[in-house]
Amino acid sequence: MIRQLLLAALVAAPVFAQSVAPSPAMPRVEPAGGTPEVQAPVPEVGDGRGPQPAGQVPNTTEPGRPTGTPGVPSQASNPAVQRPANTTPNPGIPLTSRGQQSAEEMEMFRALNGGRIEGRISIPDRQAASLIQPDGQDWRQFHNVTLAWVGGIAVLGMLGILTVFYLTRGRIRIEGGPSGQTLTRFNAFERANHWMVSSSFIILGLSGLNLTFGRHLLLPLVGPEAFTALSGWGKISHNFLAFPFTLGLVAMLLLWVRDNIPDRLDINWLKMGGGFTGHGHPPAKRFNAGQKMVFWMTVVGGGLVAFSGYILIFPFFGTNIGQMQWAHMVHSLLSVLMIAGILAHIYIGSIGMEGAVDAMTSGQVDVKWAREHHSIWAEEELARERAAIPAGRVAGAD
């Protein structure tokens, strides 16, 4: 039986070989250069074996390319799909240290296309899902460039003006010297409130300027450790001193708003230059036009600075990131302008004018000083004292 099976296999072998041999009528297709001669086997399909349909023949036999997926022509073989080079710099993309636009920033800028990137979160606060928002580039440009220029020009410019004025005009003296008689200019409560506002503003201003200029000016001088400590304490003081500063502004408004209403005397005071040029002194009541400008700058400007600052102290409390960026721009811009204006106020109230500092230290000012700079107010106060003191006492004397 075995011998018969072997004989049958030998007889059938030539016939089977002829059935699978290529026909002479069918031309042989030679493989392209670099293309393997043997076609890759059809991938298996089924559960757990990918999404390829059953019986699909691979579309490529090139090694290293997945089978069963559409072939993607390379940019080298198809010049029509090559991406044109970005030869025009986009002004919205920041430059690297070499003056070139960052490739990562360029790709991100194209991906955003004016929108924002958000992630998925499982907490109710949707603000936490915001990863990147393009408006932040405008805020960064303002903080790093615009604010630095405006603040530098305002503060340094005011210091330069005051220096030139002092060198040319000198200190404004009391004509003929002090008289020795005094008038009560401010009571204890007014002086205490003034010093609370002024001391808070000085620390707030210095700590705020450190946020903009400290890294460039202070860090090289004191080193990273001291700069870190100063900035940390400055941040804490900046946040907490905002509350007494705001309280002092409210008290200041209630105390002095009646005496700071503009009137016609202010126009004449401005026309005469406030007595800073020449030797004439225009008449004024308790506050002249210059002091009224400082008052409204402090109350209105300080109020806006405080309000915008509270938006930053309590982030996302009824605001979004865009509104907080606007709050920061208003806060910082008004702050540097106020610092420049207060520098002039400090100069006039200290070294710039003789007898002015006494108003906020002892509260008593010389009668001759009062008659020169606040003549109407001085006569009203002297008349009130004459009516109150007993006969025989020198009017206006201590």
Quick one: pLDDT band at residue 65, thresholds 50, 70, 90? low
Q: Which residues of 89-107 are buried (b: 16+ CB within 10 A; e: fewer)?
A: eeeebeeeeeeebeeebee
Among 44-58, 161-175, 181-195, 383-397, which stretch is predicted with the lowest mean pLDDT? Answer: 44-58
Name which of 309, 299, 315, 314 is nearest 332 in CA terms. Answer: 309
Asked, for residue 287, whether it belongs to a domain, the answer is yes
Half-sphere exposure of 262 (CA within 13 A, CB side): 11
Asked if residue 116 has pLDDT above 60, the reply is: yes
Task: For residue 178, give the 3-state DSSP assignment.
Answer: coil
Q: Report d(CA 248, CA 298) in Å as an integer.
A: 11
Give the range among 69-83, 220-234, 337-351 with minimum mean pLDDT.
69-83
- Domain membership flag for residue 325: yes
Mean of all residue pLDDT scores within the chain: 79
pLDDT of residue 94: 59
Q: Which of 301, 267, 362, 17 is nearest to 154 (CA)?
A: 301
**pLDDT at 62 (0 to 100):** 55
Higher pLDDT, 38 or 382: 382
Q: Is residue 160 part of a domain?
A: no
pLDDT at residue 354, as a whole number: 93
Range of the domain at 339: 192-387
pLDDT-derived band at 352 (thresholds 50, 70, 90) equals: very high
Residue 237: inside a domain? yes
Q: Is 158 a residue whose pLDDT tops 90?
A: yes
Instruction: Compute the distance between CA of residue 44 and CA of residue 122 in angstroms, rounded to an integer.
Output: 40
We report the CATH number of the domain holding residue 381 as 1.20.950.20
Examine residue 244 and state whether it is found in any structural domain, yes or no: yes
Query: 365 lies in a domain?
Result: yes
Above 60 in pLDDT, residue 2?
no
**In angstroms, rounded to a whole number, what is the distance separating the alpha carbons of residues 314 and 298?**
23
Q: Report yes or no on 323 lying in a domain.
A: yes
* DSSP of 194-229: HHHHHHHHHHHHHHHHIIIIIHHHTHHHHHHHHHHH
More confident residue, 97 or 19: 97
So what's the pLDDT on residue 342?
A: 96
Angle between helices 188-209 and 219-240 (to 10 degrees): 130
Check: CB of residue 231 under 8 Å from CB of residue 214: yes
**Count: domains in the chain:** 1
- Band of the pLDDT at 129, cuts 50, 70, 90? confident
The answer, yes or no, to whether residue 179 has pLDDT greater than 70, is: yes
Is residue 46 classed exposed, middle or buried when 0-12, 13-18 and 19+ CB atoms within 10 A define those classes? exposed
What is the average pLDDT across 249-253?
Answer: 97
Answer yes or no: is pLDDT of 225 > 90: yes
State percent of the chain over pLDDT 70.
67
pLDDT band at 390 (very low <50, low <70, confident <90, very high): low
Confidence of residue 84 (pLDDT cuts 50, 70, 90): very low
Name the token pair of 269: 């005071």
Note the pLDDT tens digit of each residue in 286-342. 999 999 999 999 999 999 999 999 999 998 888 888 899 999 999 999 999 999 999
pLDDT-based confidence at residue 91 (cuts at 50, 70, 90): low
H or E element that contains 117: strand 117-118
Examine the pLDDT at 141 and tell me if it is beyond 80: yes
pLDDT grade for 124, boundaries at 50, 70 and 90 = confident
**pLDDT exceeds cutoff 70 at 66:** no
Q: What is the pLDDT of residues 318-329, one digit of tens each?
A: 888 889 999 999
| Domain contains 132 | no
Helix axes 289-296, 264-271, angle to 10 degrees: 110
